Structure 1
Amino acid sequence: MIRAIIIDDEFNAIKNLKWEIESFCSDIEVCDTFTNPVEAISAINYLKPDCIFLDIEMPEMDGFQLLEKLSYRTFDLIITSAYDNYAIKAFKEHAVDYLLKPIDSEDLLKAVSRVRENQQQNALGDQLKSIIKWYVPEKKNTRLAIPVLGKTIFVALEDIMFCKADGSYTEVHFKEDTKEILSKKLKEIEAQIDDNFFRVHNSYLVNLRYVKEYVKNDGPYLVLTNGVTIPISRAKKNELLQVLNS
C-alpha cells in the first residue's frame, strides 16, 4: 500500500482528489489531508509518506516554500495546480507529474503508475542493500567513548540500557542504574552503536537486550528489566514490533 498525503488550501479540491484516488487507485491510502501548509510540514516529517499531492498557490506559504522547509524528502511528489506556469520549477523539484485542475482520472492514473514504478525500484534497491549488508556486514563499534571531567571513559555497549535526548546533550543510562551526560545529540550516538539498539522515540534509544515487556495500552511503551518505562512513538511502533518478533 502506498501512503499519500494531500495538501491544498481548498477543501473541495481535497475532497474531489481523495474521491478520485479512492475510486480509481485501490493501492493508494490517503493517510492525511491538510489545508494549512504549515501544519502539513510537521505531519510529513512525522508520518513519512510515500507520496504527496501538493498544491502550489496557498496562503501563508506556497508549495515550493513548504518543500524547502521539510527535513524528510524521501517521497514521490505530484503537483496539483490550476495553473501551468509552475511546471518547470515543479520538475526541478523532481516531481513525478504535474496535474492540472480539474484533475482528469486518466492523468491521475498515469501519475500514480509512475509512483508505483518508483516504489518498486526503491524496494528492489532496499533488497539489494540488505543482501550486501548480509554478505558484507558493517563494522560496528563495541564501545562508546564518554568524556568526563578531563578524561574519557570507554563503556561497553552491552552495559548501556538506554539513551535519552536532552537538547544538545544525551543522558546515557547504564545497567547499574547510573548515568552520564554526554555532550552529543542522540542521533550522533545512534550512528556509533550496534544493531541491538533501536530508536523507539525521538527522545529515546533503547538497548533491546534489556526489553522485558511491550505494553500496547496507554502508549504504547516498553518496560526494561530494571522497571524503567520507555514511550514508543506511533511512527516507530510497527517497525519495533517486527524487530522484537524477528
Structure 2
Amino acid sequence: MIKAILIDDEENSISSLKEKLLAHCTQVKIIACCNNAAKGIEAIDNLQPDIVFLDIEMPVMNGFVMLQQLTYKNFELIFTTAYDHYAIKAIRYSALDYLVKPIEVEDLKAAVLKAEEKRNHAYPNPQIELLVEQLINKKNSFTRIAIPTMEGLHFIKVEDIIYLEASSNYTHIFTSEKKKYIASHTLKDFEDMLPPEIFLRIHNSYIINKNFTEKYIRGEGGQVVLSNGVTLDVAKRKKSEFLKAIGY
C-alpha cells in the first residue's frame, strides 16, 4: 500500500480527491487529510507518507513555502492547483507532477502510477530538493533542471546545455561536458521551460544556447556552428529572429 497525505484548504477539493482515490487508486491508503500547511507539515514529519497531494494556493502559507519548512522529504509529491500559472514552470523544471483542478480520473491514475514506480529510494526526494533550492534562490531563471529519461532522472546545469534536438516525442540534449541525454519530453516542452533570453528555437528540430554560438554561415536560412563543432540549419522563418538575438 502507498501511504498518502492530502493537503488542501478547500474541503470540497479534499473530499473530491479522496473519493477518486478510494474508487480508482485502491493501492493508496489515505493516512491524513489537512486543511492548512501547518497541519500538513506536522502530518508529514510525523507520519512519513509515501506520497503527498499538495495544493499550491493556500492562505497564510502556500504549498511552496510549506515545502521549505519540512524536515522529512522522502516522499513523492503531486501538486494540485486550480491555476495553470507561473508556479507550473518551477514544478516542471523539477520534473514533478501536478494536477489541474477539477482533477480528471485518468490523470490522477497516471500520476499515482508514476509515483508508485519511483518509490525506490530511501533519501530525500532530489526533485523536492531541487524545487526548494530554486524557490530559496528566488531567481527568474533556474540554474538546474531535472531531465526525465528511460533510466530515471538526471540533474544538469541549464548553462551546460549546448543544444537540444527533437526526436518524435523525445528530445536529445547535448551538453558542454560531452554528454547526451534522451529526455521523455518534447522539444516544445523544453521551449516553454528554458529561459528565452538564452535559448533560441532556430528550427522545428533545434533549440540552441546562444552562448555556445561560434559562427553563422549565410544562406536562405543559414547555418549556425556551435562550440562543439556541430553545424545546424536555421529555418528561413527563424532567420531574422536568430540574427537579432545574437546581435548580428
Question: TM-score w.r.t. structure 1 length?
Answer: 0.48
- State the structure with more CA Rg: 1
